Chain A
Amino acid sequence: AQKITQTQPGMFVQEKEAVTLDCTYDTSDPSYGLFWYKQPSSGEMIFLIYQGSYDQQNATEGRYSLNFQKARKSANLVISASQLGDSAMYFCAMRSNDYKLSFGAGTTVTVRA
């Protein structure tokens, strides 16, 4: 069974600073995918970034980057130059071979002006 762990229930970050959200996972599948989603207070789920288990380089998408450490089974999200609009809940998820997603409990990020 897949398991995703996000150990930080909530974080505060100063505007324009970087923040790292932790995510560790557990799987016995050799092939898997890791996703990060953002959920603002309005409730919708917004896809941010994807990392495949066989990808050699860390994924980047604008101000989002994924620090993928396969041996440690971690896939931390880094948000650079935080903006007030980054305040939201962030979910790490892992896709198994059958295309289902397992989600972590989420981390709430609050950006301070």
Chain B
Amino acid sequence: IAGITQAPTSQILAAGRRMTLRCTQDMRHNAMYWYRQDLGLGLRLIHYSNTAGTTGKGEVPDGYSVSRANTDDFPLTLASAVPSQTSVYFCASSEGVGGAGYNEQFFGPGTRLTVL
């Protein structure tokens, strides 16, 4: 079982370009999340989805969009990348609403994105 996969592992991108970060989970979790990690700021939530077909804005949504067409996939799109979006991006999932237990979030390995 892979858990959560993210692609690409790393990417260097010219400012103004469009980029989609991919995330796929095989745990049939209802909820999925995108975070960015920046030094001294911890992880900040960009967007989330409590279930397929729904999405919501997190703490830092500007410049990013997401979609949740099915349970497994949750792509994050930068429509026109800017240097301030240079960061490490983590996708995560959890059982979400209605799940048993304490809803631990499982994280993917991350994508390191550099916008020049």
Contact = CB atoms under 8 A, between A and B. Distances in A.
16 contacts: A4-B42, A35-B104, A37-B107, A43-B109, A45-B92, A47-B105, A50-B102, A52-B102, A95-B102, A100-B48, A100-B58, A101-B45, A101-B92, A101-B105, A103-B44, A105-B41
Interface in A55-113: 91, 93, 95, 98-106
Interface in B6-60: 31, 33, 35, 40-45, 48, 50, 58
A93 B33 CA distance: 14
Contacts of B33: 100-101
A99 B90 contact: no
Interface in B91-113: 92, 94, 96-97, 102-107, 109-110
A99 B104 contact: no
Nearest to A91: B42
B88 interface: yes
Interface string A1-32: 00010100100000000000000000000000
Interface of A: 4, 6, 9, 33, 35, 37, 43-45, 47, 50, 52, 91, 93, 95, 98-106
A99 B45 contact: no
Chain A interface helix/strand/loop/mixed = strand
B51 to A, nearest CB: 11
B40 A50 contact: no
A103 B104 contact: no
A23 to B, nearest CB: 11
Contact of B50 (A44, A45, A50, A99): A99
Contacts of A47: 104-106
B102 A99 contact: no
A95 B105 CA distance: 10
Nearest to A105: B42
Nearest to B101: A50
Contact of B103 (A6, A9, A44, A99): A99
Contacts of B103: 33, 95, 99
Contact of A106 (B42, B50, B109): B42
B90 to A, nearest CB: 7
